[in-house]
Amino acid sequence: MQLIAALPVRRCLRLLVLLLPLFASAHPGMAAAEDFLPVRSAYKVATSAEAGQLVVRFEIAPGYYLYRDRLGFESATPGVTLGPASLPVGLDHEDEYFGKQVIYRDIANAGVPVTFSGAPQDFDLRVKLQGCADAGLCYPPQNWPVRVTWAKSPGVTAEVAAAAASSNARSAATPSAAATKESGGFNLRSLLGSGA
């Protein structure tokens, strides 16, 4: 008796499995899970040190976006402290799950101030992010470890910077120093202390 009752259910399930691809092809907005990129391919993260701060670059695949308010940065290395991130403006987006949001597409760069308790060093960064695909998939919140290589600038110390500032102040009256200062450059001779 149980075998007979189960027979129509099996037929219905088989029919549903056969018709499901037909329904999916009739609705182009429906995408199969294999049509979506893995999360680390949809959002690529790179870091660099520029002008004494950490720059985190997000490369966002076409058809995907990141939420600005879901981005976060933490140091996982003792003695390395991160300040508040400077984020780009972004695009307004009305999200059916989260409401009005600011998102990033294509490329977004975040500037993060870094303070070292000792000498600058390489450190471990935790990058928090969340994003979605335009086709409807939203990834769960991510927390990725990223190793940051902090370039050590040989020879650039506080003493060298102070000497350069002092030298620039003394030679500010010369026309070449004034021209250099207006162009945003620096006078290599004054930095090296050989004079003009």
CATH number reported for the structural domain that contains residue 76 in this entry: 2.60.40.1250
Residues 138 and 162 placed together within one structural domain of the fold: no
Domain of 140 in residue numbering reads as 33-148
Q: Are residues 79 and 41 in the same domain?
A: yes
Identify the pLDDT of residue 7: 52
The pLDDT-based confidence of 134 (bands split at 50, 70, 90) is: very high
130 domain-assigned: yes
Residues 114 and 137 placed together within one structural domain of the fold? yes
User: In residues, how long is the chain?
Assistant: 196
**Count of alpha carbons within 13 Å of 154, Cβ hemisphere only?**
0
The reply to whether 162 falls in a domain is yes
The verdict on 110 and 188 lying in the same domain is: no
The overall average pLDDT reported for the chain is 74
pTM of the model: 0.62
Q: Rounded distance, CA 136 to CA 12, Å?
A: 28
CB 180 within 8 A of CB 186: yes
* Number of separate domains in the chain: 2
Give domain status of residue 10, yes or no. no
Contact 71, 87 (CB under 8 A): yes
Instruction: Please state which of the ranges 76-90, 92-106, 147-161, 178-192 shows the lowest mean pLDDT.
Output: 178-192
* Angstrom distance (rounded) from CA 49 to CA 125: 13
CB-based contacts of 107: which residues, under 8 Å, 6+ apart?
A: 57, 58, 59, 60
121/162 same-domain check: no
How far apart CA 118 and CA 58 sit, in angstroms, is: 29
